[in-house]
Chains A and B, each alone.
Chain A
Amino acid sequence: MRALVWNGVDDLAVETVPDARLVNPRDVVLRVLATTTCGSDLHFIDGYLPGMLPGDVFGHEFMGEVVEVGPEVRRVRVGDRVVVPSFIACGSCWHCRHEQYSLCDTTNPNAAAQQPLLGYPSGGIYGYTHPFGGYAGSHAGFVRVPFGDVNCFSVPDGVSDVAALFVSDAAPTGFMGADFCEITPGDTVAVFGAGAVGLMAAASARLLGAGRVIVVDRLPERLEKARTVAGAETLDYTAVDSVQEVLRETTGGRGPDAVIEAVGMEGHGTGVQQKLDRAKQALRLETDRATPLREAILACRKGGVVSVLGVYGLTDSFPMGVIVNKGLTLRSAQQHGQRYVPRLLEHVAAGRLDTAALMTHELPLEDAVRGYEMFKEKQDGCLRAVFRP
């Protein structure tokens, strides 16, 4: 099959690799119908996250058609059109039973490599670094899905492939971020970052009852999406002296009840700290440019919730004192998609959530290298490139 592979830092290629196949008895193999870029891929493409091996097939946000099922698969059938969350869950460990699916205790084949970093290893993920399992990813003709009955969700007839695709990761990650905020009707929620996850977080905050949603970014086309997809107010951080000040003023001096950070380790920003972060990251003296995270913590009202969805390594100058003195609650996780996918598919089918709007470019898999370049450089207003194998 053809697949997009990582051959080194900034070195991607579409190559021919062996077909994905069943390995364990509860595996399923999908023919990939749609697979998309994700900002978290850029961290290893750019060389900030170690743990990839040359030749790795990557990609973790996808949907497809079931073409093969293992002998112990009971629910999923060949021919089903399904969407699959990016983290692999077994459905039976303590964390899965508590709906903390990305923390699954049993699906990371390289858990020993991750344990020293995290203390306790996470679950496995498709097409990411080897400490996260090293599973082959979805930018390919076919993909193996372990525990098919737990991880495959049937797509309703009225939901398109593209709309279902983003229920794999961007939508559940965003929804989880909003869920963490414990929104009560009328709350004000600020979202830092208008990428796909930030937009889904903003739209989800609305679905969960927020009265005002304010999205902060710098790209006009993304801010426009925030207004149309999420019904959000927008704030261009490059057009103001202080985002904190604007948020404070527009909320009567209280600050947003919750702030969702949806940017991650390659964040942009303004000010001296951002320039310092950029220099230190370039010299590999720190892993993160964490300006949006710090801004989110500073912007949140006293006693509020900061929900962190961005992917980070080891952040310098983390304002712990602000968290303590403002009595903030900090919540974060990789997405527990299996918990949210069924209700998100209902929202999409009912027209309450527009996930398909996240796709700005549709390309054949053969053009995936160009797709990642467009995505990384935000060329032509690229929000998400979708590949069709």
Chain B
Amino acid sequence: MDVTRTARTLAGSVAAAAGRVRPGRAGGAPPPQQTLTFTCSPADVLAAVRDAAVWSQVLGDLGRAELVAPGRYRFTPASPADAEGVDTELRESADAVLFDRSGDAPPLVELRVLPAPQDRGTEVELSLDLPVPDLAAGAATFTVLYRLRALLQTGEVPTITPQPSARPAQR
């Protein structure tokens, strides 16, 4: 048995697992990506995500977006309450929309589209570079992408806020 090799493999696995639960990207690893298929066309998806109001709607409880100048967008997280917005610049290509931060930081938002097979619409890949552990970032990215698909396909974002319950805050 190659103990050294086994130990290295084990250490690599532990490091990878740690990278999924600790904030920040280890070794410049890309942010988690989520992919869903939308029934609408690639053009419709790309057009929608140029609209800051669409981002605010799909971010919902997570934050908001605003157009601060032509081609310049500010994304502000919902918490903490005094969180500063992140200024970004829209960069587009035929199959992608990216919101770039200044300096060397990777794009805050990277959304790519490609036609889905069998006329199923559009495969949409989304990455959000969020300052949270990968597991949380992955869940948040999935939530945003799921909401975006719902909005584009139905005109609504699914929500249970507000709704009745017997929790003290709602009495």
Stretch at the interface among A108-116, A312-320, A335-343, A346-354: A108-116
1/0 per residue A52-65: CB within 8 Å of B? Answer: 01111100000000
- Asked if A17 and B165 sit within 8 Å, CB to CB, the answer is yes
How many of chain B's residues touch chain A, expressed as a range?
A: 20 to 34
- Asked if A90 and B153 sit within 8 Å, CB to CB, the answer is yes
Distance between Cα atoms of A110 and B160 in the complex (Å): 9
- Asked if B143 and A17 sit within 8 Å, CB to CB, the answer is no
Tell me if B114 is interfacial: C-beta within 8 Å of chain A.
no
Tell me if B149 is interfacial: C-beta within 8 Å of chain A.
yes
Residues on the B chain within 8 Å of A57, using CB: 164-166
Instruction: Tell me the count of chain A residues lying within 8 A, CB to CB, of chain B.
Output: 46
Tell me if A236 is interfacial: C-beta within 8 Å of chain B.
no
Distance between Cα atoms of A92 and B39 in the complex (Å): 9
Distance between Cα atoms of A110 and B37 in the complex (Å): 18
Tell me if B6 is interfacial: C-beta within 8 Å of chain A.
no
Residues on the A chain within 8 Å of B120, using CB: 94
- Among A92, A105, A112, A136, the residue within 8 A (CB) of B165 is A136
1/0 per residue A169-213: CB within 8 Å of B? Answer: 000000000000000000000000000000000000000000000
17 further A-B pairs in the complex, CB-CB below 8 A; given A106-B154, A144-B163: A7-B166, A16-B171, A18-B171, A24-B156, A55-B165, A90-B153, A93-B154, A94-B39, A94-B120, A105-B153, A106-B149, A107-B150, A107-B158, A112-B140, A133-B158, A133-B160, A136-B164
Q: List 12 A-B contacts (CB under 8 A).
A: A16-B171, A18-B170, A21-B162, A24-B156, A57-B164, A57-B166, A94-B39, A105-B36, A106-B146, A111-B143, A112-B146, A134-B160
Residues of B at under 8 Å CB distance from A?
36-37, 39, 120-121, 139-140, 142-143, 146, 149-150, 153-168, 170-171
Residues of A at under 8 Å CB distance from B?
1, 3, 5, 7, 13, 15-21, 23-26, 53-57, 72, 90, 92-94, 105-113, 115, 121, 124, 133-136, 140, 144, 146-147
